[in-house]
Amino acid sequence: MTAMIMHGPAAILSGRLRSGFWQNGLAAALAVALHAIVLVLLVHGWSVAPPPAAQPAVLRTQLVMLAPTPAPSPAPAAVMPEPAPVSEEPAPAPAPAPVPEPVIAAPVKPAVDPQIQAQKLEQAVLARKRVEDKKRELHAEQQRQASEQRSREAQADQQRLARQQAQQAQQAEARQSAERARQQSAQTAASSRQYLPLSKEAPDYPQRALDKNLEGDCTVEYTVNPQGKVENPKVLDGCHPLFMRPSLAAANTFRYQPKVVDGQVVAVPAVRNTFHYRIK
């Protein structure tokens, strides 16, 4: 036989009040302590990182068939237990499952065909050879152009040197001609400084000589008298007979300034004049 002990309502209520007061006091103390710890951590620079996103929970179900159980026998009467105190603290959140890192597969290099690789190498060698051939051709062309340029410059230098030599020869000849003319002029001035020709007329070209297309020179020697006139003109050897008469006639027309020696006018013998007959 089972006996049931029943307590009075006042005893049960007082016990529950005492147990709830202590539980509430302990919860309040824990809350204040936690707030104080969080405040100290915040003052010292602690920051609350947001919790990682929790993966969604997956519910898996499985159907299990159980054998039938016999009916239970009547249980004896039991003492009614006191209700468990209700805690005001929230249930801790379940820890988030770790997120697996994505696996990056390494790229798979395709297999290289040996024949294709050999063809590529052969093409590269041929291309390098063509480039080298072009370089050699360009170098040879540059050398040829430089050689032609040097030969042209050498020819130009030779031509310039030849022109300079020709100019120098012409200048030397001109200087010699001028010197000879000066000497002849000096000699003529020395021989005729005592008398000077005032007028000389050219002789007439003989018509017969013109018809025969004859040319030549004729020298006439005469004396200049004190009056400046020509006396005793005569033709020297070497004169063509057709040129004698016009030469003597022209010499008779010459007039000179008389020569004066010691204040006296004197004659000048053996004066010569050459007439040049040329058909123009």
Using one digit for the tens of pLDDT, what is the confidence trace for 23-38? 778 888 888 888 888 8
Q: What is the pLDDT of residue 24?
A: 79
Closest Cα partner for 204 from 254, 244, 256?
Answer: 244
Closest Cα partner for 233 from 198, 193, 197, 273?
Answer: 273
Closest Cα partner for 203 from 240, 244, 238, 256?
Answer: 244
Q: What is the pLDDT of residue 100?
A: 57
Q: What confidence tens digit (pLDDT) does each residue in 90-144 have? A: 555 555 556 555 555 555 555 667 888 888 888 999 999 999 999 999 999 999 9
Q: What is the pLDDT of residue 103?
A: 53
Distance CA 231, CA 265 (A): 15
- Residue segments in the chain with a per-residue pLDDT below the cut of 70: 1-21, 45-112, 186-194
b/e map of 196-217 (b: 16 or more CB within 10 Å)?
eeeeeeebebbeebeeeeeeee
Count of alpha carbons within 13 angstroms of residue 170, beta-carbon side: 6
Q: What is the pLDDT of residue 13?
A: 45
Q: What is the pLDDT of residue 45?
A: 65
Q: What is the pLDDT of residue 188?
A: 57
Q: Are 220 and 247 in contact (CB under 8 A)?
A: yes
Q: What is the pLDDT of residue 183?
A: 82
Distance CA 29, CA 45 (A): 25
| Residue 245 CB-density burial (10 A; 0-12 exposed, 13-18 middle, 19+ buried) | middle
CB neighbours of 252 closer than 8 A, spacing ≥ 6? 230, 233
Q: What is the pLDDT of residue 202?
A: 87
Q: What is the pLDDT of residue 80?
A: 53
